[in-house]
A and B are shown apart, each in its own frame.
Chain A
Amino acid sequence: MNELSADAQVGFPILSTIVFLPVVTMVALAFLRGDRALRGVALSGALVVLGLSLLLVLRFEKGTTDFQFAEQRPWVETIGLSYHLAVDGVSVLFVPLTALLIVLVMLSSWSAVRHHIKAYLMAVLAFETAAMGVFTAVDLILFFVFWELMLIPTYVLIRVWGDGPQRGRAAQRYVLSMLMGSAALLAGFILLGVSHQSAPGSGGVLSFDLTVLMESPPSLETQTAVFFLLAFAFALKAPLFPFHAWMPSALLEGSIGMAVLLAGLKMGVFGFLRLVLPLVPDAFAAWSWLIALLGGAAVIYGAFLALVQSDLRRLLAFASVSHVGLAMLGLSSLNAQGLQGALFLLVNLGLVSTALLLVAGFVQQRIGSTDLAALGGMAQRTPALAMFAMIASLGAVAVPGTSGFPGEFLILLGAFRAHGWPAAIAVLTVIFAAAFVLVFYERAFHGRIRSSVVQSAPDLRRSETVIACVVGIAIVGFGFFPSGLLSYSSASVDDLVSRLATSITVMAEK
């Protein structure tokens, strides 16, 4: 498989810079004092990463399935490890998305975080390095290292800066769930590497490189074992029903910043797209019915639980479970529309669930609660916040003209083609359920003002207005011009679909 090297494309190791600049910033923060200096340096670091990731997107060559901006150095050669970073159409968009979310989380912390600001910013930066590593690692073990690195900052961000009284338990639950998945993940990776080493064409070389392993998928039995190990880990992370138990508590008890990162970056679904589909295509095609079933169940389960919530954060947690199900339903349809739809949905959720969670955060800071009982009539006092909430809600309902629509439309097309009516009904359920975000919006922001706290609530501050504008414009912009995003992934998705199609025909012959 060909690769375009970073040296040829931008002249410097851009991915390493993006991955490790947050760590450098972190170290710099350790020597600083004073809130202003800390925030200034942290934000500058995050903005430089955002700038670099936009450069990455600009220089990205569309229309090729090659990995790009590749950097490869030997790491521990005896056990086949290499330091190998690169992006392709599947992963490239997650880099700027992550960078953007980190900037937003920092900006929103200006007013939200009141203690241990230095530690908070350092944890967020550590998370950024780990997340960027996950999105750009091409070596499986390197991927695993970054995957595990995410654990500590996430735990701390839930445990220390959480909003709820049960945040300790929520953090523990998260870590335990992830550790269970990690064991399976590592086992799956090693199984893949070893079976490749013993395969006839490999010359006995141990390798964990995605580009190498993709070329010769192992036997169906090995694939099935690997599939279940990886699927378990990614389903826990996504979280896919019925492995979602940690999600509502983490979103409800954790800090808003952490909630944004957990709900906005769907790494579990990304894991399926990045590793499961290309590495074990036959097993994925064989078991796609199971994925479809779980996806459909998640959609309906999450949607119905979202319906009965009166608290915005709880509602968003279950809506998130539902949307993960939708993305998995898209993947399970094994066609270009389903996969493109799922990818687009992931990017959209990065924007829309972030927007809604930020709204929840803004409301929480002003009113002290995100429960309907305490709200009502907020639009009169906080028109700008109401406007932002409305755009985000419309995006969640997938109204045409917002970034929610193209993804769900494509998934509907793909699912209809692959699974017929049942899948279509599941997709429509999500949209129906999401309509309750609108009902929530109406009850919280319109009608009579019922409490004195709402009466005296201030509207968005300057930093908050910046956040609202950036996210709002992105939601509407990608709603009208989704082809700009889709063109990045189309070549890679077509390649994946053709691999899956081969698997399906091979299996049909058997």
Chain B
Amino acid sequence: MDVTGLAPLLALLVPLLGAAGVVLLRHRTPARELCGIVAGIVQFGLVATLVPTVREGGTVSFTLSAFLPEASIALRADALGVVLAGTAAVLWVLTTLYAMGYLGTARDPALTRFHACFCLTMAATVGVAFAANLLTLFLFYEALTFITYPLVTHTGTPEAARGGRRYLVYQLGAGIAFLLPAIVLTYLEAGTLDFVRGGSFGPDTGGALPVIIYVFFLLGIAKAALMPMHGWLPAAMVAPVPVSALLHAVAVVNVGVFSLLRVALDVYGLELVDTLGLDVLTLVITSITILIASIHALRLDDLKGILAYSTIGQLSYMILGMALLSPAGRTGAVLHLVGHSFSKITLFFAVGSLYVGSHRALASELRGIGRQMPWTTAAFAIGALSIIGLPPTVGFIAKYFLFVGAVEARQWPVLAVLSVSTLLAAGYYLRMLRSALFDSPLAAPEGGVGGGSGLMYAPAVGESRALLLVPMLVTAAVTLLLGVAPGLILDLIRVASG
């Protein structure tokens, strides 16, 4: 039997089975967690079988349901989809391991719900990655919103409920008010919802309507966190660290950027983006987002808040890379999608590890943590270097492509924005690293452990356990590996962005 032909469908079904397994095994831990891990590994294997086909520019299609005469629910795996699905599968496995360490493996119904939703999140992500048309993409895009909602409100506190409501209002509101009309208008204008590389709008498309539709897409795909639709992301930080990692590095934000890339590449086509002047519009919006987010991150002290705003800025890098309309810019955009995922998740893992080990959640509390939690600090440093864009990390390679792209496109203001924001990112990340490595440790609180004993640091602070460290070190290692040997995935990424 031809496994490759069914791989997109199976990659969608495996996480669903994983979710069912999690629920069935709810009374047996850690079998419950292992179920998710096994599903993730199988899913990655399935996605990997697609690589030889899609690297040559091929696609694998499967129609799920005829749905409506206007559009079917259909899967079609291409290189761009494989990049998103593959990244998500790897990080899903690691995040599940990390969650076992962070949240424990108690027989708590809340944890069963957590792991089941984790699996469903992956199903929705793969659905978006392999969607063959806008309707299918919309289906899984919206499903992702509902599936991740219980994850955001996992802790059940009033604060979590508030954050969760804000998350839902942003996502649903944007989806209904902008994304759905954008899809309907696209159908009326183009006569199809299918993704076609080079665009499905006719060659003589013009006038105001395509521009309005495009603006609707920018506003409607709130998961990409372009300003002014970014407010959900800091609000969703009320979630536990593994969820933040999944939402802000793996699933939700990547799906947002991916959807916008699909719209630009496969609905409009770059030629039309150029003739309608949508590239300039996109560059302006992303530049503003990058600058404001970077400045905002500089003023925050809460570590997760800093990472949230850093993410908002980094997502805009990817969209900006696409809007440069040069090959190097697009390659940089897709490479950054992968690289940022690994780097940012490393940072989240490190922040979580720090919180578990020392109950610290503020940047100003990082003083001297380098000596107390060396592995966590090392991972944090690698992630930070990558986000700033310094060698030898994957962030450097991606930014290099983006800079080349800006030069190729003769977009000097964009080059300036990229430079300034790199400096700003260096500002807030290096400040934290310096404090962690060189400042003397925080004194233990009065009356606390070691209090008044004259010791310079609280002995209670120590390195986290292996379940937290291993996933973090693996993602840090991948961040370095892709920085040293980007050739491993560059072929695939060139095809994906071509």
Counting CB contacts under 8 A, is B65 at the interface?
yes
Q: A399-B146, A400-B142, A428-B177 are in contact. Are A416 and B185 (CB under 8 A)?
A: yes
* Interface membership of B196, Cβ < 8 A: no
What are the interface flags for B51-80 relative to A under an 8 Å C-beta threshold, 1 for contact and 0 otherwise? 000000000000011111110010000000
> Which segment, of A167-175, A456-464, A479-487, faces chain B?
A479-487
Query: With the chains together, A481 CA to B142 CA distance in Å?
Result: 17
How big is the A interface, by class? Answer: 20 to 34
Q: Give A134 Cβ to nearest chain B Cβ, in Å.
A: 28
Q: A480–B64 contact, CB under 8 A?
A: yes
CA of A419 to CA of B138, assembled, Å = 24
Q: Does A424 contact B (CB under 8 A)?
A: yes
Q: Closest residue of chain A to B161, judged by CB?
A: A447
By a CB distance below 8 angstroms, the chain B residues around A424 are 181, 184
**B interface residues, how many (CB within 8 angstroms):** 27
**Which chain A positions have C-beta within 8 A of B184?**
409, 412-413, 416, 424
Query: What's the minimum C-beta distance from A139 to chain B, rounded to whole angstroms?
Result: 33
> Are B138 and A413 within 8 A (Cβ)?
no
- Report the Cα distance A36→B183, complex, angstroms: 53
B73: chain A residues at CB < 8 Å are 480
CA–CA, A410 and B188, complex, Å: 12
Beta-carbon nearest neighbor of B183 in chain A: A409
**Complex formed: what's the CA distance from A406 to B143 in Å?**
15
Q: A483 to B65, Cβ gap below 8 A? A: yes
Find out whether the CB atom of B65 lies under 8 angstroms from the CB atom of A409: no
Shortest CB-to-CB span from B24 to chain A, Å, is 16
B188–A486 touching, CB < 8 Å: no
- Quote the shortest CB–CB distance from A399 to chain B (angstroms): 6
Return the CB mask of A423-463 against B: 1 if under 8 Å, else 0: 01000100110010010001000110000000000000000
Cα–Cα, bound, A424→B65 (Å): 26
Q: Is A394 an interface residue (CB 8 A)?
A: yes
A61 CB, nearest partner CB in chain B, Å: 19
Q: A417 interface residue, CB < 8 Å from B?
A: yes
- Indicate the member of B65, B146, B176 with the most A CB atoms within 10 Å: B176
Contacts A424-B181, A431-B176, A486-B68 given: A400-B188 contact, CB under 8 Å? no
Q: Is B172 an interface residue (CB 8 A)?
A: yes
A401 at the interface (CB under 8 A from B): yes
Residues 167-212 of B at the A interface (beta carbon under 8 Å): 168, 172-173, 176-177, 180-181, 184-185, 187-188
Report the Cα distance A481→B66, complex, angstroms.
7
Let me know if B416 is at the binding interface, CB within 8 A.
no
A401 touches B143 (CB 8 A): yes
| B187 neighbours in A (Cβ, 8 Å) | 413
Q: Is the CB–CB distance between B65 and A481 below 8 Å? A: yes
Asked whether any CB of chain A lies closer than 8 Å to the CB of B139, the reply is: yes
- The answer to whether A428 and B139 have CB atoms under 8 Å apart is no
Q: How far is the CA of A405 from the CA of B187 in the complex (A)?
A: 16
Q: Are B68 and A409 in contact, CB atoms less than 8 angstroms apart?
A: yes
Bound-state CA distance A482–B66 (Å) is 8
Contact for A483 among B66, B173, B188, CB less than 8 A:
B66
- Whether the Cβ atoms of A483 and B185 lie closer than 8 Å is no
Of all chain B residues, which has the CB nearest A481?
B65
Contacts of A438 in B (CB 8 A): 168
Contact (A428, B66) CB under 8 Å given A401-B139, A413-B187, A416-B188: no
Which one of B146, B165, B181, B185 lies within 8 Å of A394 (CB-CB)?
B146
Are A428's CB and B67's CB within 8 A? no
Contact of A432 among B70, B161, B176 (CB under 8 A): B176
The residue among B70, B172, B180 with the most chain A CB atoms within 10 A of its own CB is B180
Question: Across the interface, which residues of B come within 8 angstroms of A482, CB to CB?
Answer: 67-68
A480 contacts which chain B residues (CB < 8 A)? 64-65, 67, 73
Cα distance A397–B173 in the bound complex, in angstroms? 12
Q: Is the CB of B161 within 8 A of A413?
A: no
Return chain B residues, CB-CB under 8 Å to A405. Answer: 139
Residue of A400, A413, A446, A480 contacting most chain B CB atoms (<10 Å)? A400
Contact with B along A281-305 (1 / 0, CB 8 A): 0000000000000000000000000
For residue A99, give the distance in angstroms from its CB to the closest CB of chain B. 25
Q: Nearest Cβ in chain B — how far from A405, in angstroms?
A: 8
A428:B180 contact, CB within 8 angstroms: yes
Asked if A410 contacts B68 (CB within 8 A), the reply is yes
**In the complex the two chains form, what is the Cα distance from A431 to B177 in whole Å?**
9
Q: Given the complex, which residues of A lie within 8 Å of B138, measured CB to CB?
A: 400
Please tell me if the beta carbons of A413 and B188 are within 8 angstroms of each other in the complex.
yes
Min distance, Cβ A165 to any Cβ of chain B, angstroms: 35
Distance of A357 Cα from B172 Cα, bound (Å) = 24
Question: Nearest chain-A residue to B124 (Cβ)?
Answer: A401
Whether A486 lies near B176 (C-beta < 8 A) is no
Q: Is the CB of B70 within 8 A of A400?
A: no
Asked if B139 and A435 make an inter-chain contact with CB atoms under 8 angstroms apart, the answer reads no
Give which listed residue, B67, B70, B146, B168, contacts A413 with CB less than 8 A: B70
How long is the Cα–Cα vector from A486 to B69 in the complex, in angstroms? 9
Which B residue's beta carbon lies closest to that of A390?
B146
Chain B residues closer than 8 Å to A446, beta-carbon distance: 161
Q: How far is the CA of A413 from the CA of B65 in the complex (A)?
A: 20
Least Cβ distance of B397 to chain A in Å?
A: 37
Query: How far is B164's CA from A447's CA once the two chains are assembled, in angstroms?
Result: 12
User: Chain A contacts of B142 at CB under 8 A?
Assistant: 399-401
CB distance from B143 to the nearest CB of A (A): 6
* A416 to B188 Cα, complex, angstroms: 9
Distance between Cα atoms of A133 and B479 in the complex (Å): 70
19 intermolecular pairs with C-beta atoms under 8 Å apart: A397-B172, A400-B138, A401-B143, A406-B67, A406-B68, A412-B180, A413-B70, A413-B184, A413-B188, A416-B185, A417-B188, A428-B181, A435-B172, A438-B168, A480-B64, A481-B65, A482-B67, A483-B66, A483-B68
Residues of B within 8 A of A (CB): 64-70, 73, 135, 138-139, 142-143, 146, 161, 165, 168, 172-173, 176-177, 180-181, 184-185, 187-188
Nearest 8 A/B pairs, CB to CB:
A400-B139, A483-B66, A481-B65, A431-B176, A400-B142, A412-B184, A480-B65, A401-B139
Given A409-B68, A446-B161; 15 other pairs, CB 8 A cutoff: A400-B138, A400-B142, A400-B143, A409-B180, A409-B184, A413-B184, A416-B185, A428-B176, A428-B180, A428-B181, A432-B177, A438-B168, A480-B73, A483-B68, A486-B69
